[in-house]
């Protein structure tokens, strides 16, 4: 199995085409790939965590704040198998196999869920006040969410609070919009939530009955509503999805993507970079939309979930800040913002409709895709026999949830030990 990656992490220069990393895992060893503002994370089937990229706030969880140029095993988590990871702009949320939530990185907005903790944490710390078993986590720009096994959703971090106060003057915002520790999202008491996602200034949750709820800022119509801000969850009407149940949802910073029970894919929200996979008029009209008298009408159209027929049946979807990847019939398609080459077509021009990434090796089997804010990752299985996977048997306990910084000597020793997978060449976003 080979991993491909392109776009912008902390590279010496932008990479406009997928670059192949060294063979590092046998088939089936990797569970997920994802990214944040300038860092990337790989989770293995055994619960191992590999990280690389920007690290000035300790978002890699390695015990220091040095940038890391190659995928490196997260030593502080040895002994604590990870089930899922969600990356925010400069922080990381981890979900353990036991259902406990950990966090590291910047805590400037309470996004680590530890209200009296330091402004940043360089090793993963448990969010002790979240005592229910969690099955899904999500991270936005400056806030995070967790869904429990009982169907409740918790939110923390003040990323939505400032716009809420400005757009809802005189209203008392619900606690979950202003809390720096996990607070139950009110308004969902009659629903059983199975997962939640986060944008830069909004959140969404999906229920076990296929209903989608949204809340937060609605500047670009991403909440499928005419309201400027929704302080409480509001259901997106089923007729928007042709009366089908929603089975999966993904979120960029200002747009959403949903998949229904028959495999249809719908997009809505901000569209000026092509992130909806369709154009309302020409790209030039979109580019100069701020001066266009039809801007309000365009936004109204963008707020209506509309199907992308070319993606019907997509197996995998991932959203970056303003770009997307999808796997359909063993092809990786990309569309949206492409200033740093994250659509992988060799250019820096925005991609207006889902387009196969021709530069990925062929024939190959696309297994996983993942996006950061301005970079992309794809995991492919090639015909050649890959190298065996590194043994990730875990034996060490989870460290205390305190901010610690290793000495430079310890950092140097870790790098010399070479516990890395796949050479990477990062650059700040």
Question: Which band of pLDDT confidence, cut at 50, 70 and 90, is reported for residue 180?
Answer: very high
Task: State the average pLDDT over residues 403-411.
Answer: 39
In sequence order, the 6+-apart residues with CB closer than 8 A to the CB of 302 are 220, 221, 268, 269, 270, 271, 276, 280
Question: Which band of pLDDT confidence, cut at 50, 70 and 90, is reported for residue 381?
Answer: confident
What is residue 75's predicted lDDT score, i.e. its pLDDT? 95
Q: Is the pLDDT of residue 284 over 60?
A: no
User: For 325-379, how does the pLDDT look when each residue is reduced to its tens digit (9 = 90+)?
Assistant: 999 988 999 999 999 999 999 999 999 999 999 999 877 888 899 999 999 999 9
Count of beta carbons in the 10 Å neighbourhood of residue 292: 14
User: For 23-73, how does the pLDDT look when each residue is reduced to its tens digit (9 = 90+)?
Assistant: 555 545 899 999 999 999 999 999 999 999 999 999 999 999 999 998 999
Identify the CATH number of the domain defined by range 2-423.
Answer: 2.130.10.30
Residue-averaged pLDDT of the chain? 85
What is residue 258's predicted lDDT score, i.e. its pLDDT? 98
Q: How many whole angstroms from its chain centre is CA 402?
A: 25
Q: Bigger pLDDT: 132 or 4?
A: 132
User: For 120-137, how does the pLDDT look when each residue is reduced to its tens digit (9 = 90+)?
Assistant: 999 999 999 999 999 999
pLDDT-above-90 percentage for the chain: 72
What is residue 380's predicted lDDT score, i.e. its pLDDT? 87
What is residue 298's predicted lDDT score, i.e. its pLDDT? 63
What is residue 154's predicted lDDT score, i.e. its pLDDT? 98
Task: State the average pLDDT over residues 13-24.
Answer: 80
What is residue 330's predicted lDDT score, i.e. its pLDDT? 87
Q: Is the pLDDT of residue 205 over 90?
A: yes
Residue-wise over 23-44: b if at least 16 C-beta within 10 A, else e? bbbeeebbbbbbbbbbbbbbbb
What residue segments make up the domains of the chain, in order of their start? Answer: 2-423
User: For 294-320, how does the pLDDT look when each residue is reduced to its tens digit (9 = 90+)?
Assistant: 556 666 778 899 999 999 999 999 999
Residue 68 has φ and ψ, to the nearest 5°, of -120, 125
- The DSSP code sequence of 146-168 is EEETTS-EEEESSTTHHHHHHHS
Q: Is the pLDDT of residue 150 over 50?
A: yes
What is residue 422's predicted lDDT score, i.e. its pLDDT? 39
Question: Which band of pLDDT confidence, cut at 50, 70 and 90, is reported for residue 398?
Answer: very low
Return the residue matching tokens 């003040």: 158
Q: Is the pLDDT of residue 405 over 60?
A: no
User: For 216-229, how does the pLDDT look when each residue is reduced to its tens digit (9 = 90+)?
Assistant: 999 999 999 999 99
What is residue 394's predicted lDDT score, i.e. its pLDDT? 35
Q: Is the pLDDT of residue 424 over 50?
A: no
**Cα 155 from Cα 399, distance rounded (Å):** 25
What is residue 285's predicted lDDT score, i.e. its pLDDT? 46
Task: State the average pLDDT over residues 96-104.
Answer: 98
3-state secondary structure (DSSP) of residue 394: coil
Question: Which band of pLDDT confidence, cut at 50, 70 and 90, is reported for residue 116?
Answer: confident
What is residue 5's predicted lDDT score, i.e. its pLDDT? 54
- The pTM of the full predicted model, rounded to 2 decimals, is 0.86
Question: Which band of pLDDT confidence, cut at 50, 70 and 90, is reported for residue 20?
Answer: confident
pLDDT-above-70 percentage for the chain: 80
């Amino acid at each position: 199995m080979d991993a491909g990656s392109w776009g912008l992490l902390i590279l010496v220069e932008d990479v406009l085409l997928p670059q192949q990393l060294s063979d590092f895992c046998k088939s089936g060893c990797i569970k997920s790939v994802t990214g944040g503002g300038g860092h990337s994370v790989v989770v293995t089937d055994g619960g191992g965590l590999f990280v690389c990229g920007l690290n000035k706030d300790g978002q890699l969880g390695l015990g220091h704040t040095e940038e890391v140029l190659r995928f490196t095993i997260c030593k502080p988590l040895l002994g604590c198998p990870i089930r899922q990871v969600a990356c925010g702009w400069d922080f990381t949320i981890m979900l353990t196999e036991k259902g406990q939530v950990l966090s590291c990185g910047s805590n400037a907005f309470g996004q680590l869920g530890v209200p009296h903790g330091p402004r940043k944490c360089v090793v993963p710390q448990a969010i002790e006040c979240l005592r229910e078993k969690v099955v899904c986590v999500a991270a936005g720009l400056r806030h995070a969410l967790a869904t429990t096994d009982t169907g409740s959703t918790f939110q923390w971090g003040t990323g939505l609070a400032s716009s809420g106060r400005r757009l809802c003057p005189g209203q008392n915002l619900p606690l979950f919009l202003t809390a720096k520790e996990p607070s139950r999202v009110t308004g969902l008491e009659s629903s059983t939530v199975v997962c939640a996602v986060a944008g830069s200034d909004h959140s969404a949750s999906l229920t076990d009955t296929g209903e989608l709820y949204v809340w937060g800022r609605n500047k670009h119509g991403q909440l499928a509503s005419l309201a400027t801000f929704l302080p409480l969850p509001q259901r997106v009407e089923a007729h928007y999805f042709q009366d089908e149940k929603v089975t999966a949802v993904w979120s960029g910073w200002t747009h959403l993507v949903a998949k229904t029970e028959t495999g249809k894919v719908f997009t809505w929200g901000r569209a000026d970079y092509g992130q909806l996979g369709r154009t309302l008029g020409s790209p030039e009209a979109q580019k100069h939309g701020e001066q266009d008298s039809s801007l309000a009408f365009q936004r109204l159209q963008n707020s209506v979930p509309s199907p992308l027929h070319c993606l019907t049946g997509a197996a995998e979807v991932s959203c970056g800040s303003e770009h997307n990847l999808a796997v359909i019939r063993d092809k990786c398609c990309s569309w949206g913002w492409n200033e740093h080459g994250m659509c992988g077509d060799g250019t820096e021009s925005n991609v207006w409709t889902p387009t196969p990434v021709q530069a990925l090796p062929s024939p190959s089997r696309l297994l996983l895709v993942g996006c950061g804010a301005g970079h992309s990752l794809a995991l492919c299985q090639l015909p050649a026999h890959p190298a065996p996977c590194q043994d990730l048997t875990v034996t060490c306990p989870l460290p205390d949830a305190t901010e610690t910084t290793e000495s430079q000597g310890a950092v140097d020793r870790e790098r010399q030990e070479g516990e890395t997978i796949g050479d990477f060449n990062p650059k700040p976003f």
